[in-house]
A and B are shown apart, each in its own frame.
Chain A
Amino acid sequence: MCLAIPGQIVAIDSQNTHLATVDVVGVRRKVDLGLLQDELPVPGDWVLIHVGFAMSKISEADAADQMETLTMLGEAAAAIEEVRGYGLENEIPDYPPQRWKQ
């Protein structure tokens, strides 16, 4: 939850312009750009992502540094898992809907 994940903006969604596809070491998912609306990033820009929302623009070198920091912290796998999970991509309907039993 508290991970700051570096990613590169690949494309802005043509229908929802507050959404953009980002690339995080090869994993591509949609993130929300609404928190950067004062200075919207464009394709090619690098951003730090928190819980599916781009929070700050950074340089490419800082993005590389941040990925290395996550690796050193042992959190790179968790970061990739988080990005993979954006958009409920991993949502597995693992049980039929059932009523809550006390």
Chain B
Amino acid sequence: MKFVDEFRAPELIAKAGEEIRKLADSDRHYRIMEVCGGHTHAIYRFGLKDLLPANVELIHGPGCPVCVLPMGRIDDGLSLAAQPEFIFAAFGDMMRVPGTHGSPLEYKARGMDVRIVYSPADALKLARNNPEKHVMFFAIGFETTAPSTALTLVRAKAEGLNNFSVFCNHVTIIPAIRAILDSPDMRLDGFVGPGHVSTVIGCRPYDWIAKAEGKPVVVSGFEPLDILQSIVMLLRQLRRGEAKVENQYTRVVPWEGNRAALRVMAEVFELRPYFEWRGLGFISQSALKIRESYGTWDAEQRFTVPGIRVTDPKAAQCGEVLKGVLKPTQCKLFGRECTPEQPVGALMVSSEGSCAAYYNYEHRKPITIANAATR
């Protein structure tokens, strides 16, 4: 396998691939879900599927925050920001995500004050620098970014900076995994657990997947070798008939997570009774809202939110792709009406969305591991 030479540890990569072929029972078809969008991106970019036998299938999970955000929330956020003297601040990833009447970037072109920030702390700085304006930070992300938003709110409160608010769309990964396992058309054998989310929440929250659902979970790093090793660890468990939570990414993920980050999240956030996910529908206790004690800085408590609900375009099958029931190419719009340049569904917008990853690395420019490493 000559193209493996490009990797940092080619002999280890080749060995891991060999080990996977040895461990996979040829009479069995394995369906392993990588929960995190970062893993999906890495798997496509490195062409890792080429190293797996045909009966070890990777299913792409819901771990792309931009992808699971329903369009109605974008519309809600943009309609709030249409008030005079408002600045709409968000991460760059959000800027091209389509709302009913355009993306934040298109609203900016029409005159709305829309700013890209790289950190919620900078949205707070915008508020400090523009005392005559109201800065609303459109917050998205799983537990990887939620603690930063929480700490920013703590700082805003300490400073008494009242021209700042957060429109909170933070979601939590565990209920989404539960929803996928509960879905009747789903059959999974195990999970490659998210790396950076686990830095915050640790490995314990996955225990029920192993104990109650009998599926192994291996928290994984993002290098090709990390992902392959995690698949080896999963297959080993499956072969022995075990189901436990293991941590492949010990160099970054502590078993107990980051307690300081969990504390600040508990101080600022509480669970919403339910929240809508694109493709997965309403999931109970799956998202975070800002506590009343921080109500002054919560756009939803402070302003009237229209509560817009938009059904996804009928022809787009984002939900099925998100749940791993369909492959991106099986959607009728894939590569025709829906492309990264003109996305219809959110899975095409983010580089971590499985449709965009599939389009960029498999559909448009088929690449091998050889050029992946050098590109």
Binding site for B on A (CB under 8 A): 1-2, 4, 32, 34-38, 48, 50-53, 55-56, 58-59, 62, 65, 68-69, 72-74, 82-83, 85-88, 91, 97-102
B: number of interface residues (CB 8 Å)? 61
| B260 in contact with A35 (CB, 8 Å) | yes
| B45 in contact with A73 (CB, 8 Å) | yes
| Nearest 5 pairs of A and B residues by beta carbon | A52-B119, A85-B118, A53-B148, A1-B91, A35-B261
| A34 in contact with B222 (CB, 8 Å) | no
| B111 in contact with A50 (CB, 8 Å) | no
For the complex, give the distance between the alpha carbons of A53 and B149 in Å. Answer: 10
Residues of chain B contacted by A62 (CB below 8 angstroms): 251-252
For the complex, give the distance between the alpha carbons of A55 and B260 in Å. Answer: 10
Residues of chain B contacted by A83 (CB below 8 angstroms): 118
| A69 in contact with B91 (CB, 8 Å) | no
Return the CB mask of B132-172 against A: 1 if under 8 Å, else 0.
Answer: 01000000110011011001001100000000000000000
For the complex, give the distance between the alpha carbons of A98 and B112 in Å. Answer: 8
- Asked whether B104 is an interface residue with its Cβ less than 8 Å from the other chain, the reply is no
Residues of chain A contacted by B133 (CB below 8 angstroms): 97
| A73 in contact with B41 (CB, 8 Å) | yes
Q: Count contacts between A and B, CB distance < 8 Å.
A: 132
Majority-rule SS of A interface residues: mixed
Binding site for A on B (CB under 8 A): 8, 37-38, 41-42, 45-46, 65, 81-84, 86, 91-93, 110-113, 115-122, 125-126, 129, 133, 140-141, 144-145, 147-148, 151, 154-155, 195-196, 199-200, 221-224, 251-252, 254, 258-261, 264, 352, 372-373, 375
Least Cβ–Cβ distance between A5 and chain B, in angstroms: 10
| Chain A residue with Cβ nearest B84 | A99
| Chain A residue with Cβ nearest B63 | A2
| A35 in contact with B118 (CB, 8 Å) | no
Least Cβ–Cβ distance between B101 and chain A, in angstroms: 10
Least Cβ–Cβ distance between A74 and chain B, in angstroms: 6
| A2 in contact with B264 (CB, 8 Å) | no
B145 touches which one: A1, A38, A85 (CB < 8 A)?
A: A1
Q: With A88-B125, A98-B111 as known contacts, state yes or no: A52 contacts B147, CB within 8 Å.
A: no
For the complex, give the distance between the alpha carbons of A74 and B222 in Å. Answer: 13
Known: A32-B148, A86-B122, A88-B117. 13 other contacts (CB 8 A): A1-B93, A32-B151, A34-B260, A35-B264, A36-B258, A48-B252, A51-B148, A68-B8, A69-B222, A72-B224, A73-B45, A82-B118, A87-B122
